[in-house]
C-alpha cells in the first residue's frame, strides 16, 4: 500500500456506496457528511446532486483540514463558488435537528464510543423519510491481529465492531425503518509498520480498540514486523442504508384515509 494514498479505503467504500444511489429517485438538497474522508464522498455526491448544499462533521481537525484542502483544488468549487461548512465535533454532539434530506457517513461511526447515541443523533438530524447511507467496520475486522494479541496475553476488545444484522436491528429500534445491510471483506498485507500505523490512524481503527496495555500491544505489533517482515489483516466492510421514521409526540398516532371502495 502506498503511504501517500492512505485514503484509498475511504475512496473504495465511497464509490461502492455511491453506486447504490443509481436507482434513487429523490434528489436531496441538504446533505450532512459525518466523517471527513479527503473529499471522496462529497466529490461523488456533488457530481450526482449538483444543487445540493453540504455540511461536514468530524472530531479530527486534521481530517477536516485535509478535506478542505482537497476542495481548494477541485473543479466543483471553482465552477460553483460553493463552500462546505465544517464542524469539528464528536459523533454524539448534536447535529442540526430535522434539516437534512440525506446523511452520509463514510466510516464516521468508528469514532464514537457507543453506536446507539450516534444513530439517534443521525436520526434527529434527518427530516422525516430522510435517507441515511453509511459504511462501518464489521465484527471480523482485525480478527487475526486481535487473536494474535490475545494469544500473547495482551487483552484487546473491539466494542465498536458489529455484526451487520445487529447494526440493522439498532437502526430499526433507534429512529429508522427499512434498514438494508450488506458486507464484504478486504485482505490487506503490509510490509512496513509505518504504513500500517498510518492506516490504523486514518481509518480510526486503532483508537476504537480497548487494550489492557496499549503500549505493550503497540510494541508487539512492531516486533511482528521486525520478525515476520509483514502483517496481513482483514477488514470487514459493512454498508447500510435506511429511512428516517416519522416521530410523533407521545400519545399520538398517524391517521390514514383510504378511498371508499365501490359497492
217 domain residue, yes or no: yes
Query: pLDDT of 213-249, one tens digit each?
Result: 999 999 999 999 999 999 999 999 999 999 999 764 5
pLDDT of residue 83: 83
Task: Print the domain residue range for 171.
Answer: 12-17+27-244
Task: Give the residue, 260 or 13, on which the prediction is more confident.
Answer: 13
Q: What is the pTM of this model?
A: 0.89
22 domain residue, yes or no: no
192 domain residue, yes or no: yes
pLDDT-derived band at 252, boundaries 50, 70, 90: very low
How many domains does one find in the chain?
1
- Residue whose C-alpha is closest to residue 171's, from 263, 227, 252, 103: 103
250 domain residue, yes or no: no
Residue 256: C-alpha distances to residues 247, 253, 259 (Å): 16, 10, 10
Region 145-168 average pLDDT: 96
Query: pLDDT of 123-140, one tens digit each?
Result: 999 999 999 999 999 999
CB 240 within 8 A of CB 181: yes
4 domain residue, yes or no: no
252 domain residue, yes or no: no
Query: pLDDT of 29-45, one tens digit each?
Result: 999 999 999 999 999 99
Which CATH number does the domain housing residue 123 bear?
3.40.50.150
95 domain residue, yes or no: yes
pLDDT-derived band at 4, boundaries 50, 70, 90: very low
6 domain residue, yes or no: no
When the pLDDT of each residue in the chain is averaged and rounded to a whole number, the result is 91
Place of cell 447494526: 167
Amino acid at each position: 500500500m502506498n503511504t501517500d494514498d492512505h485514503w484509498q479505503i475511504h475512496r473504495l467504500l465511497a464509490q461502492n456506496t455511491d453506486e447504490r444511489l443509481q436507482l434513487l429517485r429523490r434528489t436531496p438538497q441538504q446533505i450532512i457528511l459525518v466523517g471527513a474522508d479527503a473529499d471522496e464522498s462529497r466529490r461523488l455526491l456533488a457530481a450526482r446532486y449538483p444543487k445540493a448544499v453540504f455540511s461536514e462533521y468530524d472530531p479530527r481537525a486534521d481530517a477536516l483540514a485535509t478535506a478542505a484542502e482537497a476542495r481548494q483544488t477541485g473543479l466543483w468549487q471553482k465552477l460553483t463558488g460553493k463552500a462546505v461548512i465544517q464542524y469539528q465535533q464528536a459523533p454524539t454532539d448534536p447535529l442540526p435537528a430535522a434539516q437534512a434530506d440525506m446523511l452520509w457517513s463514510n466510516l464516521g461511526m468508528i469514532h464514537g464510543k457507543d453506536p446507539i447515541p450516534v444513530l439517534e443523533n443521525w436520526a434527529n438530524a434527518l427530516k422525516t423519510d430522510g435517507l441515511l447511507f453509511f459504511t462501518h467496520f464489521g465484527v471480523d475486522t482485525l480478527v487475526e491481529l486481535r487473536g494474535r494479541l490475545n494469544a500473547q496475553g495482551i487483552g484487546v476488545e473491539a466494542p465498536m465492531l458489529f455484526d451487520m444484522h445487529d447494526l440493522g436491528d439498532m437502526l430499526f429500534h433507534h429512529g429508522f425503518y427499512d434498514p438494508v445491510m450488506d458486507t464484504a471483506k478486504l485482505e490487506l498485507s503490509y510490509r512496513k509498520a509505518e504504513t500500517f500505523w498510518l492506516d490504523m490512524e486514518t481509518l480510526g481503527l486503532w483508537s476504537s480498540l480497548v487494550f489492557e496495555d496499549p503500549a505493550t500491544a503497540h510494541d508487539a505489533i512492531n516486533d511482528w514486523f521486525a520478525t515476520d517482515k509483514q502483517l496481513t489483516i482483514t477488514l470487514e466492510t459493512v454498508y447500510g442504508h435506511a429511512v428516517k421514521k416519522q416521530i410523533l409526540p407521545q400519545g399520538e398516532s398517524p391517521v390514514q384515509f383510504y378511498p371508499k371502495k365501490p359497492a
